[in-house]
Amino acid sequence: MQTSHSEYLKLKTVYLKSVRNAFVSGEHLAKQWQELNYLSKPKFDESIREYEIFETLLLKNNVEVKHFPEDSNTKIDSIYCRDASIATDYGMILCNMGKEGRKLEPGAHKKFFKATNIPILGAIEAPGTIEGGDVAWLDLNTLAVGHSYRTNLHGIEQLKAILRPHGIEVIVAALPHFHGPSDVFHLMSILSLVDKDLAVVYSPLMPIAFRNELLKRGFGLIEVPEHEFDSLGSNVLAIAPRTCIMIKGNPVTEARLLKSGCQVMTYQGNEISIKGGGGPTCLTRPLKRTL
């Protein structure tokens, strides 16, 4: 059996938006990186090399990889394809992006899902906003949603209404201001589930009530140190229980994962992750995992 309601079960099928389909070219990057608040312009050729290594890690672990196509309506941020849609066992939910430069990405996902006969359960509509990086499954029947500058209360109420008939509980985590509206700061910037009872967290920015909820549910917490937060140490992709992919350069977090019995694979993500603020979870739109 398979499900979409997990962040840590064995990853069966995932969608990616490759560097070639998202960044397109060095000229394309030069026109967009500043308006989208990247730290600096990604180097196109190096981005391709980094991405090939990242994708190879998935393929070597028997993950079925499918690709979103190039779309002239979307910008370079579309490489972070988790954000434009939410996968459920009842169909996809199309997001409505809180970042203005990403507003057309859900429409591109909708076109692709319809063309490939993937059912669509619903869509978030203005004034509601939700981005997929603010959404994480805690278990098969519980979805955590970050209330952030990218995901507002209107969007959360719409999401609850879409999922309520299916018996899904939605837990809201009220995220802090941090660096403000222009920064990329999602729930999954501070939370990555790597097993049914283990999560990687950055507690200094985690809402107390939500952190206590994780503890109440029996989660052990792997704490990311302050100096590894900016290098996306708390953004970890589980491709199976306690089998993870993370960005190189976070040795303390990696050591804590290993000590907790995790297998860890790393990729160099300076161009495709650090500069745009999107780690391995952001680079993927998981569709199905094996129960």
Q: Domains in the chain: how many in total?
A: 1
Check which CATH number belongs to the domain holding 279 and give it. Answer: 3.75.10.10
∠ CA(247), CA(189), CA(143), 5° rounding?
120
- What are the pLDDT digits (tens) for 159-187? 999 999 999 999 999 999 998 888 889 99
* Confidence (pTM): 0.97
Domain assignment present for residue 2? The answer is no
Residue 23 placed within a domain: yes
**pLDDT, tens only, 103-137:** 999 999 999 999 999 999 999 999 999 999 999 99
What is each CA distance from 61 to 64, 81, 244, 247, in whole angstroms? Answer: 9, 20, 11, 17
Q: Is residue 230 part of a domain?
A: yes
For the chain, the average pLDDT equals 97
Query: Tell me: the pLDDT tens digits for 18-62?
Result: 999 999 999 999 999 999 999 999 999 999 999 999 999 999 999
Q: By the 8 A CB rule, do 120 and 90 touch?
A: no
Contact 181, 37 (CB under 8 A): no
Tell me the residue range of the domain where 41 lies.
9-290
Question: Is 1 part of any domain?
Answer: no
Does a structural domain hold residue 129?
Answer: yes
- In a domain, residue 4? The reply is no
Spatial contact of 41 and 94, defined as CB atoms under 8 Å apart: no
Residue-wise pLDDT for 226-282, tens only, equals 999 999 999 999 999 999 999 999 999 999 999 999 999 999 999 999 999 999 999
- State the Cα–Cα distance between residues 285 and 67, nearest whole angstrom: 10
Q: Are 11 and 2 in contact (CB under 8 A)?
A: no
Residue entry with tokens 């499900």? 3
